[in-house]
């Protein structure tokens, strides 16, 4: 069509999102949190090792049910995603938790995700990918890593102007992401063979909320043990950073890894549900977690 998504989305839009991230990321804020290695290890191992493995084991049970197989594969892709750059930080700040640790883990997790997420996708869904391994990484490098680095370099020279003007980075990324999601769903309805039944969709929504609540409770239990060494503020950052998944990174990555794949849109659906679900659940739990943290600190 006239939007030419094979060029504007695949290359320009994805690059724009990560250039914008590089430009807006305040690297100086991360240095204070850098030394809390135990917390960082916990979050990254939970997010990028335990989460995808647990989902894979759970999907072995669900594979015998009549749930749409491509939505189940989509659940696996959710498990492989890195933490988001914004929502976990916003909710940690709202509760009054360790914001610096949340910022560091969100940013560090995103950088790790650039390399680890495609590897996890190929490990768990390798047979589904129609793109050669080298092609995935060369495209990821050019559309994700390079724009991020350029954004950080440019930020060094216009830092004062950025601090003064405060450009709407979030709104820009959201608009570009909306364009990516729009073209993804255009691909869905352009495919006459697409078959999405309501039963599968309702079950997937239920599973997503259940997984989020279960994993939040699990991270809470692990991080509040007597010998854990984490403060109440650390626990708040752990709960949100370990269980949240990035839509901003996720959709562009799926577009690259599963480029030209006829079931890409169905695979994307669980991630498109997971993102608003994590914000909704997190927002509802903010008062409860905040009152727990205040009583714990007292």
Q: Which residue has the higher pLDDT, 152 or 126?
A: 152
Give per-residue pLDDT as tens, 251-290. 777 877 777 677 777 888 888 888 888 888 888 898 999 9
> Residue 146: its pLDDT value, please?
83
Give per-residue pLDDT as tens, 198-219. 888 889 999 999 999 999 999 9
> Residue 128: its pLDDT value, please?
46
What does the chain look like in DSSP terms, one character per residue? Answer: -TT-HHHIIIIIIHHHHHHHHHHH--GGGTGGGTT-HHHHHHHHHIIIIIHHHHHHHHHHHHTTSSS-HHHHHHHHHHHHPPPPSSHHHHHHHHHT--HHHHHHHHHHHHHHHHHHHHHHHHHHHGGG--S-HHHHHHHHIIIIIHHHHHHHHHHHHHHHHHHHH---HHHHHHHHHHHHHHHHHHHHHH-TT----HHHHHHHHHHHHHHHHHHHHHHHHHHTSTTS---HHHHHHHHHHHH---HHHHHHHHHHHTTT-TTHHHHHHHHHHHHHHHHHHHHHHHHHHHHHHHHHH-
Domains of the chain: 3-290 (1.20.1530.20)
298 — pLDDT class (breaks 50, 70, 90): confident
């Amino acid at each position: 069509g006239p939007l030419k998504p094979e060029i504007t989305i695949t290359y320009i839009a994805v690059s724009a999102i990560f250039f914008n991230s590089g430009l807006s990321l305040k690297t100086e804020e991360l240095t204070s949190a850098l030394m809390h290695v135990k917390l960082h290890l916990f979050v990254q191992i939970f997010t990028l090792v335990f989460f995808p493995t647990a989902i894979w084991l759970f999907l072995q049970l669900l594979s015998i049910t009549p749930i749409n197989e491509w939505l189940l594969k989509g659940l696996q892709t959710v498990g492989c995603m890195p933490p988001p750059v914004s929502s976990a930080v916003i909710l940690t700040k709202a509760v009054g938790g360790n914001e610096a640790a949340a910022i560091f883990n969100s940013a560090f997790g995103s950088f790790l995700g650039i390399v680890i997420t495609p590897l996890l996708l190929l490990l768990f869904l390798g047979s589904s990918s129609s793109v050669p391994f080298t092609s995935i990484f060369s495209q990821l490098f050019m559309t994700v890593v390079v724009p991020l680095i350029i954004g950080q370099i440019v930020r060094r020279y216009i830092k004062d102007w950025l601090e003064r003007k405060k450009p709407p980075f979030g709104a820009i990324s959201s608009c570009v992401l909306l364009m990516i999601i729009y073209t993804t769903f255009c691909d869905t309805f352009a495919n006459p063979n697409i078959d999405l039944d309501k039963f599968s969709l309702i079950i997937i929504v239920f599973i997503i909320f259940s997984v989020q609540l279960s994993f939040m409770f699990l991270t809470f239990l692990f991080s509040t043990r007597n010998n854990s060494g984490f403060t109440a503020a650390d626990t708040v950052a752990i709960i949100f950073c370990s269980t949240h998944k990035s839509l901003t990174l996720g959709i562009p990555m799926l577009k690259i890894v599963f480029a030209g794949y006829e079931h890409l849109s169905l695979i994307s659906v669980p991630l498109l549900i997971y993102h608003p679900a994590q914000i909704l659940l997190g927002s509802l739990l903010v008062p409860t977690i905040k009152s727990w943290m205040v009583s714990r600190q007292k």
